[in-house]
Structure 1
Amino acid sequence: MSQLLAFGEVLVDWIPLEFQRQGKIDIPIYGQYPGGAPANVAVAVAGLGHKALMLGQVGDDAAGRYLRDCLQHQAVNCDFLLSSQDYATPMAFVSLDAEGERSFSFQRSNTADLKLRLDDFPNQVWAGSGILHICSNTLTEDNIANTTFDLVNAANKAGMLVSFDVNIRLPLWQNTEQLFQRVIQTAATSHMLKLSQEEWDYLSKLGQVDDLAAVLFEQGVSLILLTDGAADVQLLTANWQTSLATPTVRVVDTTGAGDAFTGAWLASLIEQQICDSATLVEAIEQQAPLLTALQAAVVAGALAVTKRGAWSALPSAADIQAFIHSKE
């Protein structure tokens, strides 16, 4: 049975719920939410009825135990989510503006997720077919970047698809000069990329390239998904491209919307057994399977912004299908 392997950080998102007035000061009241982009995607895929495994490491602390318990309650396999007695679980504090757009402040220095190596995982990780999903947050420091490169190479040798959500969080990068190089290096061994328009523009400027799509396709990327908030989502391949409008919804919180989009996209590929390079090439030639996946992804992303939080906002398969049928 095909499955998703999500590699990267699992962390606690502290999200402001309200403010309480104490004297002359407004005190923010935060809610503790499980998060981390790869973990969000794993939960999304599991919630849509497919096997999802979390590859990563948390601290052997209260936050790490909380996250493991949350993942297991969401039917995510945690056999390869390791615990460290020496390093802490990472955290992020989320701020929301009046439109629900978020910004992040991270506590992720010398944390457990950064200390992994490929040989920390048994070879059985690569048994069976499936998709490895990664993000650029595991490229920010030398050790975890090398581990990411090793994992991607192992997935390719095992015949898996590699999905790369660029997902740039600039506060995590001490050296942005390495950012473009590492993203391109990872893209060169990935089959599918997902970027926001903001990330696209930033990378184009950082790398001083006029046609980022051409650069990525020359590196061997097969497919690119380009999102831009409420604007149309673009699907690019070397030979054709298309776009799909996003539904109009009331935005409450954009946290995790991109991961809901990605999770639904990957779940649809797994559902259609598009889990290796040959089946992806066939799907690109046929186009229709990818348009089916794109529609599910766009709807999932839209529905996710109508609720607060990351995991709590993820739509079910029934939610997605009901929305699609309501528009027919």
Structure 2
Amino acid sequence: MPRLLAFGEVLVDWIPLEFQRQGKIDIPIYGQYPGGAPANVAVAVAGLGHQALMLGQVGDDAAGHYLRDCLVRQAVNCDYLLSCKHYATPMAFVSLDAEGERSFSFQRSETADLKVRLNDFPQQVLEEEGILHVCSNTLTENDIAETTSNILSAAKQAGLLISFDVNIRLPLWASTEQLFQRVIDTAAASDMLKLSQEEWDYLSKLGQVNDLATFLFERGVSLILLTDGAKDVQLLTANWQTSLATPKVTVVDTTGAGDAFTGAWLASLMQQNICKRESLTQAIDSQTPLLDALQAAVVAGALAVTKRGAWSALPSAADIHAFIQSKE
């Protein structure tokens, strides 16, 4: 049975729930939520009825224990989520503007997620059929970037399909030149790429690339998913492209919406047994399997913004199906 391997950070998201006035100061009251983009995707895939494993490392601390317990409760396999006694679990403070758009302030210096290495995992973890999903937060520092590269190489050799969500968090990067090169190198090692229009424009400008799609396809990427908030989602391949409008919904919190989108996309591929490069190539030629997956992903992303939080906002398969049926 195909499975998802999500590699990267699991962290605590502190999200403001309300403000209390004390004198002349508004004090934010934060809620503690489990998060981290790869973990969000793992939870989304598990919630849609597929096997999902979390590869990474948290601190052997209260936050790490909390996150592990949350993942297990969401049916994510944590056999390969390691615990480290010497480094803390990462955290992020989320700020929301009037439209529900978020920004992040990270506590992620010398944290446990940055210290994991390929040889910390047993070799057999990459030997079964499935999809490996990674994000760019494991590229921000030299050691974890090397680990990511090694895991990608091992996964490709084992025949896994590789998914890469660019998901740039600029405060975590010391060098924009390094950012561009590592993101492009990781894209070149991947089969599928997901990024936002903002990230697309940023990378194009940073690398002085006029046609980013051709640039990426020439480096081996098979498929690109391009999102742009409430605007149409684009699916690009070297030979054809299409777009799909996003449903109109009331936005409460955009945290994790991209991960809900990605999780539903990957779950649909797994449901259709598209878990190898050869089967992805066949799906690209056929188009229909990918259009079905795109519809599920777009609906999942839209439903996710109608609730607060990352995991708590993830829609179920029944939610996605009911929404699609209601629009037909």
What's the TM-score once normalised by structure 2's chain length? 1.00
SS of structure 2 residue aligned to 1:149: helix
Give distance in 1, aligned partners of 2:5 and 2:141. Answer: 21
In the alignment, which residue of structure 2 is the partner of 1:320?
320
1:286 aligns with 2:294: no
Give distance in 1, aligned partners of 2:5 and 2:126. Answer: 9
Give distance in 2, aligned partners of 1:117 and 1:61. Answer: 20
Give distance in 2, aligned partners of 1:220 and 1:72. Answer: 35
In the alignment, which residue of structure 1 is the partner of 2:77?
77
Give distance in 2, aligned partners of 1:143 and 1:309. Answer: 30
Number of matched residues? 328
Shift in Å at residue 301 of structure 1? Answer: 0.1
Shift in Å at residue 22 of structure 1? Answer: 1.4
Q: Which digits, 9 at most, give the CA deviation of each residue in 1:95-137, with x for residues without a partner?
A: 0000000000000000000001110000110131000000000
Alpha-carbon RMSD across the aligned residues, in angstroms, is: 0.4
Give distance in 2, aligned partners of 1:185 and 1:320. Answer: 34
* Superposition map of 1:197-212 within 5 A: 197-212=197-212
* Superposition map of 1:63-142 within 5 A: 63-142=63-142
Give distance in 2, aligned partners of 1:143 and 1:89. Answer: 17
Give distance in 1, aligned partners of 2:234 and 2:25. Answer: 45
Shift in Å at residue 306 of structure 1? Answer: 0.1
* Superposition map of 1:148-163 within 5 A: 148-163=148-163
In the alignment, which residue of structure 2 is the partner of 1:233?
233
* Superposition map of 1:206-225 within 5 A: 206-225=206-225
In the alignment, which residue of structure 1 is the partner of 2:56?
56
Give distance in 2, aligned partners of 1:99 and 1:189. Answer: 36
Give distance in 2, aligned partners of 1:173 and 1:184. Answer: 15
Shift in Å at residue 242 of structure 1? Answer: 0.2
Shift in Å at residue 154 of structure 1? Answer: 0.6
In the alignment, which residue of structure 2 is the partner of 1:186?
186
Give distance in 1, aligned partners of 2:157 and 2:108. Answer: 31
In the alignment, which residue of structure 2 is the partner of 1:195?
195
1:247 aligns with 2:242: no
Give distance in 2, aligned partners of 1:23 and 1:181. Answer: 49
Shift in Å at residue 94 of structure 1? Answer: 0.1
SS of structure 2 residue aligned to 1:177: helix
Give distance in 1, aligned partners of 2:274 and 2:143. Answer: 31
Give distance in 1, aligned partners of 2:226 and 2:117. Answer: 31
SS of structure 1 residue aligned to 2:312: helix
SS of structure 1 residue aligned to 2:34: strand
What's the TM-score once normalised by structure 1's chain length? 1.00
Q: Structure 1 unaligned runs (5+)? A: none
Shift in Å at residue 37 of structure 1? Answer: 0.1
SS of structure 2 residue aligned to 1:311: coil
Shift in Å at residue 223 of structure 1? Answer: 0.1
Give distance in 2, aligned partners of 1:166 and 1:198. Answer: 11
Q: Which digits, 9 at most, give the CA deviation of each residue in 1:247-296, with x for residues without a partner?
A: 00000000000000000000000000000000000000000000000000
1:16 aligns with 2:16: yes
* Superposition map of 1:40-51 within 5 A: 40-51=40-51
1:171 aligns with 2:171: yes
Q: Structure 2 unaligned runs (5+)? A: none
SS of structure 2 residue aligned to 1:322: helix
In the alignment, which residue of structure 2 is the partner of 1:34?
34
SS of structure 2 residue aligned to 1:79: coil
In the alignment, which residue of structure 2 is the partner of 1:299?
299
In the alignment, which residue of structure 1 is the partner of 2:262?
262
AA paired with 1:23?
A: G
Q: Which digits, 9 at most, give the CA deviation of each residue in 1:203-239, with x for residues without a partner?
A: 0000001000011000000000000000000000000
Q: After the TM superposition, which segments of 4 or more aligned residues of structure 1 sit over 2 Å from their partners? A: none
Shift in Å at residue 140 of structure 1? Answer: 0.3
The sequence identity of aligned pairs, in percent, is 82
Give distance in 1, aligned partners of 2:185 and 2:24. Answer: 51
AA paired with 1:197?
A: Q
